[in-house]
Amino acid sequence: MNNKILGNIGEDMAENYLNSISYKVLTRNFSCRIGEIDIIAIDKNTLTFIEVKARRSVRFGQPVEAITLKKKDKLRKTAQYFLAKNTKYKSFSWRIDLIALKLSKERRLEKIFHIKNILNG
């Protein structure tokens, strides 16, 4: 299975998870010249930019290990760009989260990790 298909499956599962915990998903795959954010959602009064990582094995490392300082910086800049272009969210506090999914070989969800505010971690 290629990474694009796995990514789409992971994003679908992450969106379902977010809906189940009362987040309001605004958009998926926001993209600009700076970068891309997988999911943008509202958690109570917090605008949440969410990076989704899905893995079927840890052969290439844990999903959280894919979030390097460079990736965090790119996510932060992309989030700031979104906020500059969408002024109706100007009064919202915001953060960047990671949703890491462990999938079986059959693409079934085995485990989900939701790490809030990865810029401070």
| Predicted pLDDT of residue 107 | 73
Read off the pLDDT of residues 78-98 as tens digits, 9 standing for 90 and up.
Answer: 999 999 999 999 889 999 999
Indicate the helix (H) or strand (E) that contains 10: helix 3-20
The model's pTM is 0.89
Instruction: Specify the CATH architecture of the domain 3-120.
Output: 3-Layer(aba) Sandwich (3.40)
Say if residues 52 and 46 touch (Cβ distance below 8 Å).
Answer: no
| pLDDT beyond 80 at 106 | no
Question: Which of these, 103, 99, 115, lies nearest to 9 by C-alpha position?
Answer: 103
Query: Among 9-13, 34-38, 81-85, where is mean pLDDT lowest?
Result: 9-13
What are the boundaries of each domain within the chain? 3-120
pLDDT higher at 62 or 118: 118
Question: Which of these, 59, 53, 61, 60, lies nearest to 118 by C-alpha position?
Answer: 53
pLDDT band per the 50, 70, 90 thresholds, residue 9: confident
Q: What is the mean pLDDT of the chain?
A: 88
User: 87: burial class by Cβ within 10 Å (0-12, 13-18, 19+)?
Assistant: exposed
Q: What's the rounded Cα separation, in Å, for the pair 70 and 64?
A: 13
Question: Which of these, 117, 45, 19, 40, lies nearest to 82 by C-alpha position?
Answer: 40
Q: What's the rounded Cα separation, in Å, for the pair 86 and 63?
A: 30
Give the Cβ contact number of residue 5 at 10 Å.
10
The token duo for 22 is 């009362």
